Amino acid sequence: SNLEHKFKEINPTMKLALLATLATAATAFVAPSAPLTTRSPTQIFAEDEAEAAEVEEPAAPRSAAEISALTSSVKTIFSLEDINGILPHRYPFLLVDKVVEYEQGKRAVGIKGVTLNEPHFTGHFPNRPIMPGVLQVEALAQLAGIVCLQMEGAEPGAVFFFAGVDGVKWKKPVVPGDTLVMEVEIKKWNKRFGIASATGRAYVDGELAVELDEMKFALAK
């Protein structure tokens, strides 16, 4: 080409000068490489110590008094003796030990301590005791009964029957040593016919164990 021909006509000295100029211009378009950063040994050790400090240390052992105090704010509204005066149930089928929250005619929170001494654990199951799910539902119904039997149209000690239950879901096994914390809310109460409906749920260590959408029961006539 004409450019190649003209380049050949240039003397060697001028060729060298031209190549040097082109090389210098080309480096102007090359991004400078990032400077190499190094960390001193002191900086590395400091970072390692900071990471170690972020690791959570195991909690200190707690005394029996400290653990017992965790429930100090939970007050008993109805004791077992009070419940015996409201429900007709008795051992081994009384499944509410105490009531710790109560709104008359509306709701209640009750406690059931689960122990291996209960007779159903003999056969359910011999090598893996689990509280039967139907008894968990029965315990919720008894708690609802504590509310309903103190409403207008009912009287303490009256017998009431299960009329139906819907939407029961069991979330985790309930075993001896657990404390079942139950809550029920009365949705309907017909004082004329003694018919009630309620919702319920129960927890173990803050985790949902059982819940139901609706349970219905009626006073015996």
Contact present, 160 and 193 (Cβ < 8 Å): no
Cis-peptide, bond into residue 7, ω within 30° of zero: no
Token pair listed for 103: 């709104």
Is 120 one of the catalytic residues? no
Closest of 146, 134, 154 to residue 97, by C-alpha? 146
CA distances from 25 to 10, 37, 106, 187 (A): 20, 28, 87, 86
Token pair listed for 117: 């001494």
CA distance 156 to 147: 10
CA distances from 98 to 64, 130, 143 (A): 22, 22, 9
Task: Name the catalytic one among 5, 89, 120, 124.
Answer: 124
CA distance 179 to 163: 27
What DSSP designation does 78 have? B
Intra-chain end-to-end CA distance of the chain, in Å: 117
Q: Hey, which residues are catalytic here?
A: 124
